[in-house]
Amino acid sequence: MIVGILKEIKAEENRVSMTPAGVEVMIHHGHTVLVEKTAGVGSGFDDDAYAKAGAILIDSPRDIYAKADMVMHVKEPLTAEYNLIRKGQIVFTYLHLAADEPQTRALIKSRAVCIAYETIQKADGSLPLLTPMSEVAGRMAIQQGAKYLEMAQGGQGVLLGGVPGVDPGMVVVIGGGVVGVNAAKMACGLGAKVYLLDMNLDRLRYLSDVMPANCFTLMSSPAAVRDLVTRADVVVGAVLIPGAKAPKLVTRDMLPTMKPGSVLVDVAIDQGGCFETSKATTHSHPTYVVDNVVHYCVANMPGAVAKTSTQALTNATLPYALKIADQGWKPAMQTSREIRLGANVVDGKITYRAVAEAFGLDCTPIDKLL
């Protein structure tokens, strides 16, 4: 198979979908790998490293889309790429379609085979290709929350860890999944008082056993959220429903009850955000203020630590990319339920129910297309 590695064009996105080490493995499996020139520079991998691994360097994305059987990105295709995607071509990347109707309709029109990293799912319910970026984003959420509590950044001037004789800051993390646990660990490590909310009692029992003593687990409910945000210095939104729009858990009418200069960090912004006042921001303009509350809603948080993120992402995606390339997308889906769940749009049909429901469109089970 001819596999194309595209340069990211989303604002301030420095990751790349495969390291030179990953390219080398692909080539050992007999595949041809096309890499767009300078695609890896932002992650610390120059063109020479890809050439030494055996890749063919290509000048333009148009040429990669024209030649590759499968194209790989980190972020979703943007408007400039929609007309480059060919019928039957495999597009393997993060798609987040439930929060992006124009992209969904463009991929339907393309009749490509669109496989989303974020909906590939193991039997235990875990999301193996979302996990490494969730780990990065969860840890970053606390770094950013702590920074934007500083007065120079518009915050209220609270040091999350406190000092002897002064109370530490209070962090509320909504969602006890990968993002939430990594955020809570970082906040606990700084010495903050941390509340970690989830709706799964078994999960809360487990987290109560393994988290540090300054992490308090609570059953999530609207009443609990309403109460905690009034006392919180940082609130991290870390709720995910695979492939679907995120629920709005902090509503507009809660903001006036919060401390002026407190910080909301919405890690679910890729799926529409879990705060009612959330809107996607960028690394160059990461925050805005509503009702004296600082909102940090950068849609590609791991892009700020591109070298770490690219290596972590390749570790996770490479086995699935190899299986698709080795077998072809149909046999790969027939033999792997995990990859089958990654199918979002195939040959002009939406194959992931949550995406179809987000826009009131029909869903065709992927099994009917295999």
Which two structure tokens, joined as six digits, stand for 248? 């709005």
Annotated binding-site residue? 267 = yes
Annotated binding-site residue? 239 = yes
Annotated binding-site residue? 18 = no
Place of tokens 């798609």: 95
Q: Which of 220, 276, 274 is nearest to 247 (CA)?
A: 274
Annotated binding-site residue? 270 = yes
Q: Are 215 and 190 in contact (CB under 8 A)?
A: no
Annotated binding-site residue? 9 = no
Annotated binding-site residue? 354 = no
Does the annotation count 69 as an active-site position?
no
Annotated binding-site residue? 220 = yes
Annotated binding-site residue? 198 = yes
- In the set 69, 100, 233, 270, the catalytic residue is 270
Annotated binding-site residue? 74 = no
Which two structure tokens, joined as six digits, stand for 63? 């040429």
Which two structure tokens, joined as six digits, stand for 157? 């001037």
Annotated binding-site residue? 307 = no
Annotated binding-site residue? 305 = no
Annotated binding-site residue? 344 = no
Annotated binding-site residue? 301 = yes
Does the annotation count 295 as an active-site position?
no
Annotated binding-site residue? 292 = no
Annotated binding-site residue? 95 = no
Annotated binding-site residue? 80 = no
Helix/strand/coil (H/E/C) assignment for every residue in the chain: CEEEECCCCCCCCCCCCCCHHHHHHHHHCCCEEEEECCCCHHHCCCHHHHHHHCCEEECCHHHHHHHCCEEECCCCCCHHHHHHCCCCCEEEECCCHHHCHHHHHHHHHHCCEEEEHHHCCCCCCCCCCCHHHHHHHHHHHHHHHHHHCCHHHCCCCCCCCCECCECCCEEEEECCCHHHHHHHHHHHHHCCEEEEEECCHHHHHHHHHHCCCCEEEEECCHHHHHHHHCCCCEEEECCCCCCCCCCCCECHHHHHHCCCCCEEEECCHHHCCCECCCCCECCCCCEEEECCEEEECECCHHHHHHHHHHHHHHHHHHHHHHHHHHHCHHHHHHHCHHHHHHEEEECCEECCHHHHHHHCCCCCCHHHHC
Sheet holding 90-93, edge to edge: 56-58, 32-36, 2-5, 70-72, 90-93, 113-116, 343-346, 349-350
- In the set 31, 73, 96, 295, the catalytic residue is 96
The catalytic site residues sit at 96, 270
Residue ranges for the binding site for NAD(+)? 134, 198, 203, 220, 239-240, 267-270, 298-301
Residue ranges for the binding site? 15, 75, 134, 198, 203, 220, 239-240, 267-270, 298-301
